[in-house]
Amino acid sequence: MIGISSYGGYVPRLRLDRKSILRHVGWLAPSVGALAQGERSMCNWDEDSVTMAVAAARDCLIGASKAKVEGLYLASTTLSFSDRLHAGIVATALNLREDIMSADFTSSLRAGTSALLAGLAAVKSGERRSVLVAAADKRDAKAASSFEMLFGDGAAALLLGDENVIAEFKGAHSVSYDFVDHYRGAQRQFDYNWEERWLREEGYAKIIPQAIDGLLVKQGLSIQDVDKLVYPCILRRDHPGIGRAMGAKPEQVVDNLHEVCGETGTAHPLVMLIAALEQAKPGERIVVAGFGQGCDALLFQVTEAIRDLAPRAGIKDSLANKKSHENYVKYLKFRDLIVTETGIRAESPNQTAMTILFRNRKMILGMVGARCQLCGTPQFPKADICVNPECGAINRFDDYEFADVPATIKSFTGDMLAVSMDPPAIYGMVQFDGGGRFLADFTDCELADLKVGLPLRMSFRKHATDKERGFTGYFWKAVPQVQS
């Protein structure tokens, strides 16, 4: 039996009330008012597709053995580099083995399910027994456009294998067309979109049913044999109609999450699949489809093992962990859609030395420190001499991963002079349980909510962007666990 053995999800904490978009740009584009219900998820200024993929993958690996993962596939249409393996960044951040296969899947919103199919094929062939698939997107849209309302940021991850399978893979069917409802040219920031009717009537309404019908014929099933039907449709009012045209009942069609986060691009079919798995019962059949220049349709059947899956945030808890706001200008600034003064301090050189990044990749990307072999004292960063004054051992250390170790605030401050996209810059000393400290930037928090002793968790984030050279640097930040 092969299939999904674990899942994880991530939706950024920040949510933008769509009515705030309408209030700011409704005078220019009153038609967007028809979409101004609920809220859309939005990345903090230090988040992107890579950081969200890491977050979803960490959630997915709860209770799983990282040592068994033999492949990592990352799907996204909004990657930071044109020529750099982003799956390699994610794998390093997760501290996976170095002898794994990693690959990026991109250039189509169907990339999420395409990566899923590739991972399942690798497991089925026996070439790899465990493959981690992650998908994430942070898509920009022009101000006052309908897509500014419709898009959302998010990520999903699935661990595939032949052990502890919670959803058995039964089969798949794909169709491929050069159907262009939107595209984004090289060096362009925004999509160019064709009219809505083209996407609705010739895309969603025909291509998705073709792929799903083809799958059901292969499996000898009818639509009534499916318990949950998962497919993306960015047009909320048209989403139920696709299932209805195939003969599905309303309760079979999984909600497209428009009002709580928006459509998350390549991640969205997997985000919706996880939302379905969170409520699934053993024996249920789930069909998931990914749309984009064709369609992939996959069939899974939930097993008894889903009852034993370790607790995790998934999509449900990620959606519940939110901070809603109405600051539309902050949203624009966080996405670098408006130009503001940053001050002379922002002009300091920030070039990343590739030699240092590679030699210290475990520390920088994986947050790996050391633990003394003699006295067991953890320390970050790794050094030659044990920090325990009663030990002083030299070069007697094992690698020690700090990212998942519980921590608390030892000290903190708010700095109005430091360069920050969301002033004040908040940072302080992090104290890890069992030993180990380091000075860290804080994120996803307000200064007024902080106090010494407050629990923290570590989060992989953007550290700096070198616009002159087109380089994004990543590191770990502390997220205070403020009680709402």
What pLDDT is attached to residue 350? 80
pLDDT of residue 30: 93
**Superfamily of domain 3-334 in the CATH hierarchy:** Thiolase/Chalcone synthase (3.40.47.10)
Task: Output the pLDDT for position 483.
Answer: 72
Q: What confidence score (pLDDT) does residue 347 get?
A: 78
316's enclosing H/E stretch is helix 314-320
Rounded distance between C-alpha atoms, residue 200 and residue 262, angstroms: 17
Q: What is the 3-state secondary structure (H, E, C) of 279-298?
A: CCCCCCEEEEEEECCEEEEE
- The two structure tokens encoding residue 167: 């959803």
CA angle 429, 413, 46 (to 5 degrees): 80
Cα gap 466→472, rounded to integer Å: 6
Burial tier of 22 (Cβ tally within 10 Å: 0-12, 13-18, 19+): buried
b/e string for 112-147 if b means 16 or more Cβ within 10 A? bbbbbbbbbbbbeeeebbbbbbbbbbbbbbebbbbb
Whether 130 and 68 have beta carbons less than 8 Å apart is answered as yes
Structural domain boundaries in the chain: 3-334, 345-367+402-480
For residue 343, the model assigns a pLDDT of 79
Where the chain has pLDDT below 50, the residues are none
Q: Which fold is adopted by the domain 345-367+402-480?
A: OB fold (Dihydrolipoamide Acetyltransferase, E2P) (2.40.50)
CA gap 344, 143 in Å, rounded: 29
- Residue 138 host element (H or E): none
The two tokens of residue 337 are: 């859609």
Q: Would you give the end-to-end CA distance of the chain in angstroms?
A: 43
Residue 474 to residue 422: CA distance in whole angstroms? 18
Three-state DSSP at 271 gives helix
Q: State the pLDDT at residue 461.
A: 98
State the Cα–Cα distance between residues 463 and 47, nearest whole angstrom: 9
